[in-house]
Amino acid sequence: MKAFRLDELEAERAANEGAYLQFLRERNMSVGLYALNAGEHDPQKPHNQDEVYFVVSGRASITVGMETTEVARGSVVYVPAGVAHKFHHISEDLRVLVVFSPPEA
């Protein structure tokens, strides 16, 4: 069993001074914590893996392909591999769990 605490993951991510912290990598998936602060730009490019985003906290919009929706705590968004996507109009600091399948390269 592997268990994680969000507050500890956030502290580790902040200590490493990066927006993304991968904290689990297995044969068929990887999981990380992604953080963007209010007003920040999301620099993501399309990934080669399917993704699921689970918004832990914050508020923003996300555009996936040609579709845009508002997200906030509790939102879940699926992004197919190869599809352009970005968070934008981040009005509250955003913390998102990201599941990649297969694992992020």
pLDDT tens digits, one per residue of 28-81: 999 999 999 999 999 999 999 999 999 999 999 999 999 999 999 999 999 999
Q: The CATH number of 4-99 is which of 3.30.43.10, 3.10.50.40, 2.60.120.10, 3.40.50.300?
A: 2.60.120.10
Residue 22 — pLDDT band, cuts 50, 70, 90?
very high
Q: Which two tokens stand for residue 59?
A: 């508020």
Instruction: State the pLDDT at residue 105.
Output: 72
pTM: predicted TM-score of the whole model, two decimal places: 0.94
Cα–Cα distance, 56 to 99 (Å, whole number): 13
Distance between CA atoms of residues 7 and 69, nearest Å: 27
Q: What is the dihedral of CA 23, 62, 75, 52, to 10 degrees?
A: -40
pLDDT at 98 over 90: yes
